[in-house]
């Protein structure tokens, strides 16, 4: 009898898909900080560039998190619909 739940291959696929969100969020904030620092150096606007860069980076990180949440919800709906189709009596 096949155990319930995702197969090992499906588990790796899910870990790859959802595991990248932490990296993406970290890169968004880091890039915002570095871009803000560059703006401060270039135009002498210390500390406004870094602060603004951090805000944009954090907003971009939460946008990435929201996109991932929407993907998870859509996957759950698809899985539920597939299970419902399998259990329909003829």
Nearest to 24 by CA among 77, 61, 75: 61
More confident residue, 5 or 20: 20
Q: What is the pTM of this model?
A: 0.80
Convert the pLDDT of each residue in 44-58 to its tens digit: 999 999 999 999 999
Residue 89 predicted with pLDDT over 60: no
Convert the pLDDT of each residue in 53-74 to its tens digit: 999 999 999 999 999 999 999 9
4-15 b/e with 16+ CB inside 10 Å = b?
eeeeeeeeeeee
Look up residue 88 and give its two tokens: 């329909």
47 preceded by a cis bond (ω within 30 of 0):
yes
């Amino acid at each position: 009898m096949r155990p319930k739940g995702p197969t090992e291959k499906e588990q790796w696929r899910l870990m790859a898909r959802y595991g990248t969100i932490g990296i993406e969020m970290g890169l968004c904030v880091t890039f915002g900080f570095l871009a803000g620092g560059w703006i401060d150096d270039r135009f002498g606007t210390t500390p406004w560039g870094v602060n603004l860069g951090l805000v944009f980076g954090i907003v971009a990180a939460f946008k990435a998190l929201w996109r991932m949440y929407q993907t998870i919800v859509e996957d759950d709906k698809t899985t539920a619909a597939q299970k419902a189709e399998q259990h329909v009596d003829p």
